[in-house]
A and B are shown apart, each in its own frame.
Chain A
Amino acid sequence: MLARLRAAVLLAWPSLALVGLVAIPFLLLVRISLAPPDPNGLWSAGISLAAYRGLMDRSFAAALLYSLGLAILVAAVGVCVGFPLTFFITRMRRGWQVLWLVFLLATLTLSDVLIAFSWQVMLSKRIGFANLLVTLGLMEQAASLTPSFGAVLGNLIYLVLPFTVLTLYPTLSQLAPELLEAAKTLGASPLVAFRTVIVPLTKRAAAVSFLISAVLTLGAYVAPVVLGRPRNWTMAVLIGNAALAGHNVPRASAMSVCLLIAALLLTGGTSWLARRRGSR
């Protein structure tokens, strides 16, 4: 009895914080998405489906599909590059491992604003990168490589890569080398060993990695705004614009809810796919 009371006291503050600052605001979002807009303030009282109705047009559907497609593309590239990178890192000597991990963590935590800014500098007309392409003969004349879809894509992959490494790290690090050696002695060449031993053991971690990257990209605001033209803008940018420039918070809330549903479908789809291939 006393133990129960102590547990309750212990968790009082965390419960207050998390219920008050996560659960309630989340429910509030859904509520506000059902409120009528108020051009002078943030939203009006009452219930109205105006926000959702306003989304039922082609351009919104196109934007949603574009954002999903971009998220999947970035996540796929991120995992395909991140997997071998993480694998190599986990096989390095400790000193090198720590170096790479600190390096990745440092890039990871850099603000997306600063990274977008760095990319803008890197891809501008004056700086070396464009000149590099001219020297290689891939471009006729030095020009700014931003704003463009390529710039947005590159930046998003850059943002996502450290995440893929960090989510794959535990599983790949704990991969017992004896399992690979056993496969070798049983006649598996390195490529075959990868397919028959490493893939089954790391499927789940790869799926998680993919998902985190995709969700991150779905929510990315700064990169498309800074490095992309309006046609490269994602849902996140449209949501931001609706809230800030358009002063239409119910619309922004409704769009957020749709984005969340899209994220949920993505999560469900990935889990289902991972489980299906596991049954083979």
Chain B
Amino acid sequence: MIARAARLLFLAFLAAFLAAPLVIVTGVSFNHEARMNFPPVHPSVLWYGTFFADSGWRSAFGRSLTIAALASFVSVSIAFPIAYATWAHGSRVARWLESVARLAFLLPLIVLAIIYLVFWSWLGHVGRIENTILSHAVVFVSLPLTTIALGFRSVDPALIEAARTMGARDDDVLRRVLNPMLLPYVVAGMIFVFILSLNEYIIAYMVAGFEVETLPIKVFNSLRMGFQPSMCVGAVLFMAVGILCFSLVAAIGDLPKLLGGSTR
């Protein structure tokens, strides 16, 4: 009895802890005046209108979405062949590439930011949007790699053998049998990269921050200049995108299984 109450209390407290900043920011964004009032005074969607009317915020948001979308495509284009080569051929090169990818993910972000600042400057290719896209794609490649590898592992080998006895060659197997089954895992990987790229600040700032202003960069710059409700609007939009995307993943796929859990 006591154990149950303690458990519920613990969960409730943590839920409140995790939700509090988000709830507060959302509340503040609905203020009528440019003041941080919570609960909001005279709730209105005034600042949402201002946000979308302001070309600076709008373009920053759009830029973030574009970079995130392209980075996720590039990331999957790198991850898929590696996962396929590991599963189909047990390739040692693929496994080595996998460790390189994991290395990139494990380095502290600030270090990666400096690495890419140095790299793109050394190439003389400064302040371009490709910098952000490619840097993000490579840093986050570990995620689609994990989800797609999980997808391959969950393929029943009996299905492949059945296809082969019916005359399928390697690329037939890939196109007709594997691709449909792997789609949810590929999409999940893309969504993970999309979200992380959308929210990433320090690398984006270091490699092209002045010319290519993403939404996090703009929010960070605005922080220095004092409070603006548009920042809250930006935060709420990002939260909404995040929740939407993961709900999508949960709906089209088996989220617990995707995260490595058992399905019972």
Q: How far is the CA of A202 from the CA of B247 in the complex (A)?
A: 29
Hey, which chain B residues are within 8 Å of A46, CB to CB? Answer: none
Sample of 21 A–B contacts (CB below 8 Å): A6-B170, A10-B84, A13-B77, A18-B101, A22-B100, A26-B115, A85-B11, A101-B256, A103-B18, A105-B246, A111-B201, A111-B238, A118-B21, A126-B36, A212-B106, A226-B223, A236-B110, A243-B117, A249-B114, A249-B121, A263-B108
Q: Is B20 an interface residue (CB 8 A)?
A: yes
Known: A88-B11, A117-B25. 18 other contacts (CB 8 A): A10-B85, A17-B74, A18-B101, A21-B135, A22-B100, A94-B256, A109-B196, A109-B199, A111-B238, A158-B17, A158-B21, A169-B261, A170-B261, A221-B109, A221-B202, A235-B110, A236-B108, A260-B107
Q: Establish whether residues A7 and B259, one from each chain, have CB atoms under 8 Å apart when the complex forms.
A: no
User: Contacts A25-B115, A106-B239, A158-B21; is A7 near B216 (CB within 8 Å)?
Assistant: no
Q: Is A70 an interface residue (CB 8 A)?
A: no
The interface size bin for chain B is 35 or more
Q: Is A34 an interface residue (CB 8 A)?
A: no
Chain A nearest CB from B3 CB (Å) reads 8
Q: Establish whether residues B223 and A249, one from each chain, have CB atoms under 8 Å apart when the complex forms.
A: no
Q: How far is the CA of A227 from the CA of B176 in the complex (A)?
A: 53
By a beta-carbon cutoff of 8 Å, the part of chain A in contact with chain B is 3, 6-7, 10-11, 13-15, 17-19, 21-26, 28-29, 32, 42, 81, 84-85, 88, 90, 94, 97-98, 101-107, 109-122, 124, 126-129, 158, 161-162, 166, 169-170, 173-174, 190, 212, 215-216, 218-222, 226, 235-236, 239-240, 243-244, 249, 252-253, 256, 259-260, 263
Q: How far is the CA of A203 from the CA of B141 in the complex (A)?
A: 27
Q: How far is the CA of A99 from the CA of B161 in the complex (A)?
A: 38
Q: Establish whether residues A11 and B81, one from each chain, have CB atoms under 8 Å apart when the complex forms.
A: yes
Main secondary structure of the interface of A (DSSP, over half): helix
Q: Is B255 an interface residue (CB 8 A)?
A: yes
Of all chain B residues, the one with the shortest Cβ separation from A103 is: B18
Q: Is B104 an interface residue (CB 8 A)?
A: yes
Q: Establish whether residues A252 and B114, one from each chain, have CB atoms under 8 Å apart when the complex forms.
A: yes
Q: Establish whether residues B104 and A15, one from each chain, have CB atoms under 8 Å apart when the complex forms.
A: no
Interface centre among A3, A90, A170, A221, by most chain B C-beta atoms within 10 angstroms, is A221
Q: Establish whether residues B115 and A101, one from each chain, have CB atoms under 8 Å apart when the complex forms.
A: no
Chain A nearest CB from B215 CB (Å) reads 8
Q: Establish whether residues B81 and A13, one from each chain, have CB atoms under 8 Å apart when the complex forms.
A: yes
Q: Establish whether residues A173 and B97, one from each chain, have CB atoms under 8 Å apart when the complex forms.
A: no
Q: Establish whether residues B18 and A28, one from each chain, have CB atoms under 8 Å apart when the complex forms.
A: no
Q: Establish whether residues A97 and B256, one from each chain, have CB atoms under 8 Å apart when the complex forms.
A: yes
Of all chain A residues, the one with the shortest Cβ separation from B221 is: A113
Q: Establish whether residues B138 and A17, one from each chain, have CB atoms under 8 Å apart when the complex forms.
A: yes
Q: Establish whether residues A14 and B37, one from each chain, have CB atoms under 8 Å apart when the complex forms.
A: no
Q: Establish whether residues A25 and B256, one from each chain, have CB atoms under 8 Å apart when the complex forms.
A: no
Stretch of B43-51, B53-61, B87-95, B152-160 with 4 or more beta carbons under 8 angstroms from chain A:
B87-95
Q: Establish whether residues A126 and B37, one from each chain, have CB atoms under 8 Å apart when the complex forms.
A: yes
Q: How far is the CA of A134 from the CA of B74 in the complex (A)?
A: 51
User: Contacts A121-B36, A222-B202; is A22 near B25 (CB within 8 Å)?
Assistant: no
Q: Establish whether residues A118 and B235, one from each chain, have CB atoms under 8 Å apart when the complex forms.
A: yes
Q: Establish whether residues B97 and A11, one from each chain, have CB atoms under 8 Å apart when the complex forms.
A: yes
Hey, which chain A residues are within 8 Å of B255, CB to CB? Answer: 98, 101-102
Q: How far is the CA of A104 from the CA of B198 in the complex (A)?
A: 17
Chain A nearest CB from B200 CB (Å) reads 7
Of all chain B residues, the one with the shortest Cβ separation from A115 is: B21
Q: Establish whether residues B243 and A106, one from each chain, have CB atoms under 8 Å apart when the complex forms.
A: yes
Q: Which of A88, A122, A161, A218 is the one whose CB lies under 8 Å from B20?
A: A122
Hey, which chain A residues are within 8 Å of B137, CB to CB? Answer: 17
